[in-house]
A and B are shown apart, each in its own frame.
Chain A
Amino acid sequence: MTAKVSLATVWLDGCSGCHMSFLDIDEVLLNIADRIDLVYSPLVDNKVFPEMVDLTLVEGAVSSEDDRAKIIKIRQHTRLLIAMGDCAVTGNVPAMRNRYSVEAIQQRAYVENADLQRQPPTSVVPKLLPKVQPVHNVVTVDQFLPGCPPPSTLIRDVLLALLAGQKPTFAPRFG
């Protein structure tokens, strides 16, 4: 196979820690650089998701209308979708707001704890969904990579296996 594998990474409601862990695979990134094309990512400049991507790593839970629209679109244009990290896999810390209403949370964040402009945003900031959801509650996920963040060795092994056309076998810690 000579064609490069196209790779995308997406950042929904997460802290970017999973992307840091992804970058932490260091020299492996250099070794596979000639086999992959990073076509869309917070790490590159491209603003439009390509027509079809082989492999997309998703960091973060689905928390806002913007997250949901993004992931639905990305799913339609991705062959293999990987939920990367606990926020994407379980909802994790972002989902801790799920037992409160959106109104209560906004009241707390934008009114009670604010000094200036004490009101919830009405434009620009995407609207929050009533409940934060793991990615697989919204679209089909092909592979789960739990961890907060997933160890870079795990990301590395999964990437290398997929690039070799194998199904990754590993037992990650879950929860």
Chain B
Amino acid sequence: MSSVKTLKINGKDVSARTDDTILQVIREHDIFLPTLCHIEGLSAVGACRLCLVEINGSSKLRSACVTQVEEGMEVVTDNERLQKYRRMILEMLFVEGNHVCAVCVANGYCELQWLAERLGVDHTRLIYLHPDKHVDASHYRYAIDHNRCILCARCVRVCGEIEGAHTWDVAGRGINAHVVTDLNTSWDSSPTCTECGKCVQVCPTGALFKKSRAIGEMAKDNHFLPYLKTMREVNKNDR
């Protein structure tokens, strides 16, 4: 079997490795596709649905980060329908949490905010839910503000797959879902957390932050992201 597949992205012929996801091919060709849960090097979970693409003109949209390429596939990454869905997803993320950017540590450094700007969200048509969410500031260095968590599970994956600590998990379902440390206990009492800070740095929003940061100061330190894939492979071989 050939190890190369050919497909079309936005009408252009491209080739891909058999086990590539559509997102990988799209990124290799420098085509813009919004993503929030995805980070190269961590397992793909398809949680945010922002990377929706149209395949072979089908009405069923697929998440590019969890869909494998196929021979002869025709992928469309951008049209009015996709833009409409993506804007709706972002609006839902805003109303389901309590995002008050003006008083957020990540203001100006937040991937959710960047995408809203890029995709032309200037207000939400949905009603804000103002859910009752909490902050765990028990840890002496880090804190989690559930009001700003978009449940991308990046923290869960980086902690489990790279650090190997498995401190984070997602508990609850639907609108009640939230991330927890260990057995839903406070972060300061965690027997697993090594305080490496990776979860804080990969969190796309202001949900996870360093305590010394004030409003608009939580720039994320992403220098280790290019090495995630290698780190993960090393971990796998160690087991």
Contact = CB atoms under 8 A, between A and B. Distances in A.
A175 B120 CA distance: 12
A171 B117 contact: yes
Contacts of B116: 173-175
A83 interface: yes
A139 interface: no
A86 B102 contact: yes
Interface in B120-158: 120-124, 127-128, 130-132
Nearest to B95: A90
B86 to A, nearest CB: 14
Contact of A175 (B112, B130, B132): B112
A95 interface: yes
B183 interface: no
B1 interface: no
A120 interface: no
B41 to A, nearest CB: 28
Contacts of B107: 175
Contacts of A95: 100, 128, 130
A136 B123 contact: yes
B130 A92 contact: no
A23 to B, nearest CB: 19
Interface stretch (A44-52, A72-80, A141-149): A141-149
Contact of B101 (A83, A141, A171, A175): A175
Interface residues of B, number: 26
A144 B116 CA distance: 14
A144 B131 contact: no
Contacts of A141: 123
A171 B128 CA distance: 22
Interface residues of A, number: 24
B118 A171 contact: yes
B102 A92 contact: yes
B217 to A, nearest CB: 16
A99 B132 contact: yes
Contacts of A144: 122-123
A60 interface: no
A175 B113 contact: yes
B34 interface: no
Interface string A88-127: 0111110110110000000000000000000000000000
7 contacts: A90-B94, A93-B102, A98-B130, A99-B130, A144-B123, A171-B118, A173-B101
Interface of A: 83, 86, 89-93, 95-96, 98-99, 131, 134, 136-137, 141, 144, 146, 148, 171-175
The 8 closest A-B pairs by CB, nearest first: A148-B102, A175-B101, A98-B130, A144-B122, A174-B116, A144-B123, A99-B130, A175-B113
Interface of B: 94, 98-104, 107-108, 110, 112-113, 116-118, 120-124, 127-128, 130-132
